[in-house]
Structure 1
Amino acid sequence: MSDHIYIDALELRCVIGVHAHERVAPRTLLCDVQLACDTRAAAASDRLEHTLDYDAIAQRLRALAASMQPALLETLAERIAELLQREYGARWLRLRLDKPGAVAGTRGVGIVIERGLRVPA
C-alpha cells in the first residue's frame, strides 16, 4: 500500500535569487509536495487528526518561505523537506519548486527533490 497526500501549485512568496534584481522584492514560487502516509485510520474515523492536514501544511510552508531569503531554490527546498520530516513525520516526500519567469523563454525553472525511503505505509 502506498498512500500520498499532495499539494499542487502552492504559491509561496519570498525573496530568492543570486542576482541583485531578484533581491529587491518577494516573488511567487510554485510548490508541489507529495507526502507518503497511511490514510486508513482517517478513512475509518473520518477525523482530520488521523491524517496530514494539508491546509496546516500549506500555511506552515508559506510562513517558512516568507521568513527566508535564500539565494538558491536548493536551499529553500531542503529547508521545506526538513520541516516536513521533522514536524509532520514524512517518511518519504517529493518536492518540486518552480521559479516562474526566472529564465526568459521558459514557463519556469526549478528543482525536484525526494527525501526518505519510498516504502509501503
Structure 2
Amino acid sequence: MSDRIFVKGLMLHAFHGCHAFEAEIGQHFALDITLDLDLGAAVATDRLSATVSYDAIVTVAREAFLGRRYKLVEAAAGALTEALFATFPSIEAIEVTVRKPNAPLTAVFAEVGVTLVRRRGAA
C-alpha cells in the first residue's frame, strides 16, 4: 500500500519517564504518526467518511498517550499504535515516532526518541 495519512510534530505535555521528577513536572513530547491505508474511496468520493480524519487521529493519539503514565516512551508509543488500530479498522500499518526534545541527559543533543512500525495482524 502506498497511500498514507500523517500528522507530524504533534506536541503533548506528559509525565512519562523513569525518574521521579519526570512524573512530577512532566515534559514535552513530539509525535509523528503515519498511517498506511487505502485512500481510493476518499479520492473517488471526496467524502470525509471514506477516510480517517486528522482530528480523529489527534484525538485518539492524545487520549492514548496521555491516558496513563509510562516509564518508557516505547510503551507509550505501543499504546498509541494499539489505540489507532482498535479505532480505525481501515489502517493497515502504522509508524509512530516519539521524540523527547528535552530528555534529562548530561549531553548536548537535538532529540532522542523511538520509532515503532507495526502492521495489522503481525506479531
TM-score using structure 2 length:
0.88
Q: What is the number of residues matched between the two proteins?
A: 117
Structure 2 residue ranges without an equivalent (≥5): none
Q: How does 1:86-105 map to 2 (within 5 A)?
A: 86-89=86-89, 90-102=91-103, 103=105, 104-105=107-108
TM-fit CA distance, 1:93: 1.0
Structure 1 residue ranges without an equivalent (≥5): none
CA distance in 2, matches of 1:61, 1:113: 14
What residue is the counterpart of 1:13 in the other structure?
13
CA distance in 1, matches of 2:86, 2:60: 12
Contact 1:12 1:29 in 2 (8 A): yes
TM-fit CA distance, 1:61: 1.0
CA distance in 2, matches of 1:95, 1:66: 15
Instruction: Establish whether residue 114 from structure 1 lines up as the match of residue 111 from structure 2.
Output: no
CA distance in 1, matches of 2:67, 2:93: 25
**Paired-residue identity, %:** 32
DSSP 3-state at the match of 1:107: coil
Contact 1:11 1:28 in 2 (8 A): yes
Contact 1:93 1:115 in 2 (8 A): yes
What residue is the counterpart of 1:58 in the other structure?
58
Q: Once superposed, what is the RMSD of the aligned Cα atoms?
A: 1.3
Moved over 4 A (4+): none
For residues 52-102 of structure 1, the C-alpha deviation after alignment (integer angstroms, 9 at most, x for no partner) is: 111111022112222211110011011001111111122111110001110
Give the AA of the match of 2:64: L
CA distance in 1, matches of 2:16, 2:25: 9
TM-score using structure 1 length:
0.89
What residue is the counterpart of 2:82 in the other structure?
82
